[in-house]
Structure 1
Amino acid sequence: MPTREDPLVSFKFGLEIEGKLTGFFTQVSGIGSESEVIQHKVVNSETGETIMQQIPGRLTWTPVTLKRGVTSSMDIWEWRQQVVEGKIGEARTNCSIVAYAQDNTEIARWNFENAWPSKVVGPEMDAGSTNYMIEDVTIVHEGVERVS
């Protein structure tokens, strides 16, 4: 009989760049890939019937967006600055998003190839607010694999 496994519940997400944990994030979205769908018309040689086949075309990797509370760490901004200065060769790096359980054990990991930050957005600020300041980073990459 198959073992029942409940869905994973994650309490925090870490970003590792070249194996070094750069910080924790409260939200992560966009992990995935998509194939363009190409319709191909085929004629059945026996019946003469026209059939539309759908075949995979160009593969694209979706950008990943992470959100976190602003801290004194400048790591994301420094990484983005490499791109701003045209140092894309230095900015491209392998990284991982790691999901952690409540007891801080790793429960899932996605590895990204040749990733770099395409966008960083600072916090919205309101003197009358009691909310935490949140910053966003969007990372583009050339491949993702879920390894655990």
Structure 2
Amino acid sequence: MADDGVKQSTNVWPMPKFYFRVKWGDKDVISFQEVSGLDIQSEEIKYRHGDSPIFSVIKMPGMKKFGNITMKKGVFKGDNKFWDWLNQIKLNTIKRVPVTISLLDETGKDTMVWTLSNAWPTKISSTDLKSEGNEVAIESIEIVHEGLTITTPK
């Protein structure tokens, strides 16, 4: 008799990346096609004192650096949320919001959550236009933030 997979452990397989949710601020959930740039890097500090018997530098962890996040979504008639948000930038003032990106399991529950603090838009790219194109119009927004935390809810 063939194995129907009922006894299969849920911890054996990695999570697929196509089922996710993006939440802006406290309540806005926006559907995106793609999210990229969820990375953290620790800069290195190199040091060597002059009378060190070891002829190489010591490397220590320095400040953390966060990459910009790029999100892509389809263009919808009358949807100007990104442009409205970008147009609010005036003399270093902008509404900064937390952004939560959740990787979901098959039941729609969070399995991994990336939370960006104090996020704001730095770049918006409109779709390209082609008279012979047969694709959906896609726009992208690039946001900067001041910190990224990663949690794995139980």
Deviations along 1:10-35, one digit per CA (max 9) or x if unpaired, are: 32433211122331111111112212
Where do 4+ consecutive residues of structure 1 move more than 6 Å?
Answer: none
Q: Which has the higher mean CA deviation after the structures are superposed, 29-38 or 4-13?
A: 4-13
In 2: Cα distance, 1:63 partner to 1:115 partner: 10
Identity among equivalent positions (%) equals: 26
- Equivalent in the alignment of 2:25: 18
- Structure 2 equivalent of residue 39 of structure 1: 46
Alignment correspondent of 1:79:
85
What secondary structure, in the 3-state scheme, does the structure 1 residue paired with 2:146 have? coil
* TM-score, scaled to structure 2: 0.78
Looking at structure 2, the residues matched to 132 and 101 of structure 1 have their Cα atoms a distance apart, in angstroms, of 27
Q: CA deviation at 1:65?
A: 0.5
Which amino acid in structure 2 is aligned with residue 112 of structure 1?
L
Q: How many positions carry a matched residue from both structures?
A: 141
Which stretch shifts more, 21-30 or 95-104?
A: 95-104
> Who is 1:119 aligned against?
123
Contact 1:13 1:99 in 2 (8 A): yes
Q: Distance in 2 between matches of 1:12 and 1:31?
A: 16
Q: When you count strand as a share of all residues, which structure comes out higher? A: 1
What amino acid does structure 1 have at the position aligned with 2:125?
V
Residues 55-108 of structure 1, C-alpha deviation per residue, up to 9 Å, x if partnerless? 12232111000111112322222212212xx17544211111123345544332
Whether contact under 8 Å (1:80, 1:91) holds in the other structure is no
Partner amino acid, structure 1, of 2:80: M
Q: 2: CA distance between counterparts of 1:141 and 1:93?
A: 9
- 2:7 alignment counterpart: none
User: What TM-score do the two structures reach when normalised by structure 1?
Assistant: 0.81
Query: What RMSD, in angstroms, separates the aligned Cα atoms of the two structures?
Result: 2.2
Q: How does 1:1-148 map to 2 (within 5 A)?
A: 4-42=11-49, 43=51, 48-72=53-77, 73-83=79-89, 86=90, 88-101=92-105, 103-148=107-152
